Amino acid sequence: MVAIKAAVAKKQGSPYLLTTSAVSDYEGLSAGVEGELQVYPVPEKKDQVLKKVNFGLRYSTPNFHVTSLIENLENVKIGVAQTISPKLTLAGEFSHNVKPDAETGNVRAPVWTFGGNYVVDADSSVSGKVNTAGVVNASYKLRVNPSVTATLSVESNVNKLAEPSKVGLSVDIDA
């Protein structure tokens, strides 16, 4: 199966952008590409037409998923998720931005992220993750009724404890 999409977008004060994507999958293997081009006004330099390009590859089985993503030819991500039981899923991700930092000229260190999701019961679950950059996330999701779900989340950077942690509350309502 092959799916192809295209759309033109215009934000106030910005040029017209054409976003295109194509995805193909066969027996658990999916591959895709996405691009964003400036179509109006036409840039003076040809190298300014292509604004963004992403490539992705995914292999899935019922209990195991491997994904890879190249974002804008700068950031490489590889992730693995394993369903241990119907209640527990564990995952890991390697992310590396290969573009040198604009200020220092150095390539940033890769980031490893490890996390999991545990289904407490039919209406609630807890998730958490930690990465090698010192960022820790935790969330609790609760289905209040069949059409309302609430999520409480917190994020903190253990390397910057003087900075405040982030706390969020999301309420999703299905009409």
Domain locations in the chain?
Answer: 1-60, 62-175
Which among 40, 36, 34 has a CA at the least distance from the CA of 16? Answer: 40
Q: Looking at the predicted structure, is the pLDDT value of residue 73 above 90?
A: no
Mean pLDDT of 137-154: 96
Pairing of strands 16-26, 124-131: unpaired
pTM: 0.77
| 121 DSSP β-pair partners | 124
CATH architecture of the domain with range 62-175: Beta Barrel (2.40)
1-59, pLDDT tens digit by residue?
A: 789 999 998 888 888 999 999 999 999 999 999 999 998 888 888 888 888 999 999 99
Over range 116-131, report the average pLDDT: 97
pLDDT at 100: 82
Residue 14: the pLDDT is 87
Among left, alpha and beta (phi > 0; psi -120 to 50; other), residue 122 is alpha
Banded model confidence at residue 127, pLDDT cuts 50, 70, 90: very high
Residue 10: predicted pLDDT = 86
> What is the model's pLDDT at position 30?
96
Q: What is the pLDDT of residue 2?
A: 87
